[in-house]
Structures are given as structure tokens and as C-alpha cells.
Amino acid sequence: MSPAFQPDPDWLSFCPDPSKPGYAPPPGAVDAHCHVFGPGDVFPYAPERKYTPTDAGKDQLFALRDFLGFDRNVVVQATCHGSDNRALADALIAAEGRARGVATIRPGVSGTELAELDAAGVRGIRFNFVKRLVDPKPDDYYRGLVDLIAPLGWHVVVYFEAPDLAERWDLFTSLPTTVVVDHMGRPDVTQPLDGEGFGLFLRFMAEHENVWSKVGGAERLSVSGPPDYADVVPFARHVVQTFPDRVLWGTDWPHPNMKSHMPDDGKLVDMIPRIAPTEDLQHKLLVANPQRLYWEA
């Protein structure tokens, strides 16, 4: 850990020795949701951050990628780095084509900076509405940023909690780009699959063909807990089976802000055949869909 930054006292660090998954991802598989943190003495954490993590750099991410049997990563800018995308760009460049990125930008970002991020491998920006992570802004703020990135062919990743979907419906349903929702919009998995909350999310996807969903994050959503995260499986499987061409999966390593436990990443990989029960669904989820969105867009 860099002396410049001490992690929060209750910070849980990622699992240092995950189990080897029994499930072998297909060739070309993409871990489409993960982060890099620092290291803080090279890439300082943002002054406006809501948490200070343990460093989790690109070399550790790439070692995990290889150990779990993945070929590629999509690295998502984490809020602890604010809109300073240097750690992200450094990881993308070091991955030599085996990673793409999702950045955070602010109004006033220059065309030169966007072009540099694009060259490094950034293909989208993330809007975060989770109030414990950021101070959300009015809808027009996000619309202004979309105007800047749409010409590049980039997409938008949105991270929100279930109640935000109704509140931001007009914004979310009017975005002109592909829209990727993190963690299935964080459903309450103690509620029925066809209940009001998740029902609205399913309607969002059904009525808007530009909306995709990531179906990882079981460790965050589960109430029944590890290692099976059994209560999340029906939700993720339903989304995969209903929208097979618009789903992505990721480890969420290094699992920021986990409080109950730290997941074993190998066990998360072993969930994949339970949420995507056929080889065809697995190939779409792990290879064809991320290939289309991040390598061919």
C-alpha cells in the first residue's frame, strides 16, 4: 500500500487466493466488469472520493484474468478515481488489445482527451447514481456528456439502485446510445422475480432494444450468501434467457465496498453455467456480446 493513502479501516481487500473454477470459460471470454485501484502512489485517488480502497493494480487484474481462464477484460473506471482516468488508460494500454475501458468524464473534457481515451481502448462512459458513491446530478448534466461521446460511437453504462429506475425513467429511456445497466439495476432478490421492482427493470429492457444488462454482482445482491448465491441465480438466468444478445458478465474484482464478506472469484465463475445453462448462452454472454460492444463498435 502506498504511504500516501491508507485504506478505510473497514475496507475488505480482494481474495488473495481464489479457488480454481471448475467451469472453463470459452476461448475469447471477457470479464466485462472489473476495476483497477491505483496503486495510489502512482495514480492518486480522487479528492472527492467516498472511499479509499486497498490498491488493486493492473498486474493483479491480469494475473486473475489468466488464473480464472478469461482472455480479456472490460475495466470500468471506479468512483475512487473520479474523472482522472490515468490508471484506467494505463491498464488498457498495458493489456495490448486484451482490454477495453469505460471512463468517467466531466463537462469541459477536451476533444484531445477523448481521442486519447479512445486510442487507449475506452468505448463508453459510466453514469453513477448510487448516492453512497457519488453526488448525483440533474438529468441535463448527463445529457450534455452523452452529446460529447455519441459521435465517437461510445455507449453509456449506468449504475443505479432499484428505486432510481422510476425516478430517472425519462433520462434512461431517452439516451441515444447503447445503455448498459450494472448489476441488473440492483434488484431486491427477496422479492418475486415478477414483482413490481424487477418487473419495471424487465420492462425497461423489453421496450428498449438499446438497453443491455450485466448479470454479475451476485455477491452484492445476495441475501442467502456465499458460495452459491442461490437467490440471485433466478434473476440473472431470467435476464440471460430473455435477452441473450444483450447481456454481459463480470467478476466485479476487486469488489469495492463489500461489507458482509469478500467473494472467492473462482466461485463466482462457477456460477456462470447456472445463469447461462447452455453453451450457446455462455458463448453469447462471455464472447459474442462483449466482442460486438467493445471490440467491433
CA 74-71-65 angle, to 5 degrees, is 75
Rule CB under 6 A: say whether 256 interacts with ligand 0GY.
yes
Site string for ligand 0GY, 31-50 (x = CB under 6 A): ----x---------------
To the query of whether residue 139 is one of the catalytic residues in this protein, the response is: no
Q: Which is nearer to ligand 0GY, 53 or 266 (CB)?
A: 53
Look at residue 122 and give its three-state secondary structure. strand
Among 55, 182, 219, 265, binds ligand 0GY (CB under 6 A): 182
In the window 93-152, what residues touch ligand 0GY (CB under 6 A)? 133
Task: Identify which of 207, 214, 210 has the alpha carbon closest to the alpha carbon of residue 160.
Answer: 214
Minimum distance from residue 258 beta carbon to ligand 0GY (Å): 8
Helices 233-242 and 196-207: crossing angle, nearest 10°? 20
| Residue 257 engages ligand 0GY in binding (rule: CB under 6 A) | yes
- Catalytic residue, chosen from 31, 182, 252, 265, is 252
Residue range at the interface with ligand 0GY (CB under 6 A); choices 11-19, 75-83, 139-147, 172-180 = 75-83
Identify the residue whose cell numbers are 418487473: 199
User: Which residues 6+ apart lie within 8 Å of 250 measured at CB?
Assistant: 31, 32, 33, 34, 74, 214, 216
Q: How far is the CB of 280 from ligand 0GY (least distance, A)?
A: 27
Question: C-beta of 41: minimal distance to ligand 0GY in Å?
Answer: 20
- Binding to ligand 0GY by residue 262, rule CB under 6 A? no
3-state secondary structure 64-93: HHHHHCCCEEEEECCHHHCCCCHHHHHHHH
3-state secondary structure of 20: coil
The CB-of-127 to ligand 0GY minimum distance in angstroms stands at 11
3-state secondary structure of 115: helix
Place of cell 467478476: 251
Backbone angles phi, psi at 83, to 5 degrees: -105, 20
Site for ligand 0GY, residues 150 to 169, rule: CB under 6 A? 159
Which residue, 90 or 161, is less far from ligand 0GY as judged by CB? 161
Relative to beta strand 72-76, strand 155-159 is unpaired
Pick between residue 79 and residue 213 the one whose CB is nearest to ligand 0GY.
Answer: 79
Does the footprint of ligand 0GY cover residue 79 (CB under 6 A)?
yes
The SS3 call for residue 118 is helix
CB neighbours of residue 51 within 10 Å: 17
Residue with cell 463508453: 124
Residue 204-223 contact track with ligand 0GY, rule CB under 6 A, x = bound: ----------------x---
- What minimum distance in Å lies between the beta carbon of 75 and ligand 0GY? 11
Which helix (H) or strand (E) segment is 172 a member of? helix 169-174
Cβ closest to ligand 0GY, residue 251 vs residue 283 = 251
* Contacting positions for ligand 0GY (CB under 6 A): 35, 78-80, 133, 159, 182, 220, 252, 256-257
Q: Report, as residue numbers or ranges, the catalytic residues.
A: 252
